[in-house]
Amino acid sequence: MVASDPADPAAVNAHAYIHEFVDITGPHRAEYLHHMAANWSPQAQETRSQKLFGIWAVLGSTGRWPQVVNLWEEEDWHGLAASFEGETVGAGRQDPDLARWWRAAADYRSGGVDRLLEPAPWSPPVDRLCVDGPVRAACTAHDLIRVEQGGAAEHLDTIRAGAAVALEPFGWRLVGAFTNALRDDDECVVLWAVPTWSAWADVQAARRTDEGLRSWTIEARERELDRERILLVDGPLSPLHTGRQPRRSDRTDWTD
């Protein structure tokens, strides 16, 4: 179970996050994964202090396909506002300096849905997750959870104390816990690093028989209005997969 010491102010996560579901056109998922990580992220790190938390392919058997999930870590809310200000200056309300990049990206995607997320104070930033190297995960379980208005932040603490404990014997690791910052504290996004495919199957097989999982399920049903889980697989340059942020040297098909 991940945890930062809440008594240590330096351990409190005050970043802001952009979460994206991106619909991919045709067979271009690999190109898009590379374009975002190698061709966009290094520039974003330099110009807007934006880090890539993770980029994943959605396992089509568990969700919409073909689709990618991006999660961007902003310095803070003012940093995100400055990024928005610079991004909306062109005639089409898109930064003209990014015109070539947008045109290339348009070949790979058709649209998507974004969320602005606020982390639980104890949810670790990407650099802390990767301090010891890559986060070993065969897949990432992505939970989108709805609760009663006003209950999302409290529910994340319940997940940390309940679900994380129940899943720890199976090797699952809680790597991200967020609320939707533009809703009325009623939506959570939770990310679990699953070490092997067998570890995912073990939880699926035991969810009705394992005492810890059953107890958590009963508790969660008292709080959750809905929960949808999909499975994600790291992109080749995802920081959780490589243990570092993408670099300009990762580019193979793009020049400024």
- Cα–Cα distance list, 88 to 96, 109, 224 (Å): 9, 20, 37
Write out the two tokens for 210.
């394992």
Write out the two tokens for 58.
């959605």
CB–CB of 115/31 below 8 Å?
A: no
Flag whether pLDDT at 238 surpasses 90: yes
**Beta strand extents in 25-147 (DSSP E only):** 51-58, 67-74, 109-119, 139-147
**Tokens 């959780």 belong to residue:** 240
Cα separation, 231 vs 58, in Å, equals: 6
Domains (range + CATH), the chain: 13-121 (3.30.70.100), 126-234 (3.30.70.100)
As a whole number, mean pLDDT of residues 129-142 equals 96
> What's the pLDDT band for 90 if we cut at 50, 70, 90?
low
Cα separation, 147 vs 177, in Å, equals: 14
Cα separation, 167 vs 49, in Å, equals: 34
Q: How many CB atoms lie within 10 A of CB 156?
A: 24
In sequence order, what DSSP letters do the residues of 194-227 get, joined into one string? ES-HHHHHHHHHHTTT-HHHHHHHHHHHHHEEEE
**pLDDT for 32:** 95
The tens digit of pLDDT for each residue in 157-216 reads 999 999 999 999 999 999 999 999 999 999 999 999 999 999 999 999 999 999 999 999
> What's the pLDDT band for 91 if we cut at 50, 70, 90?
low
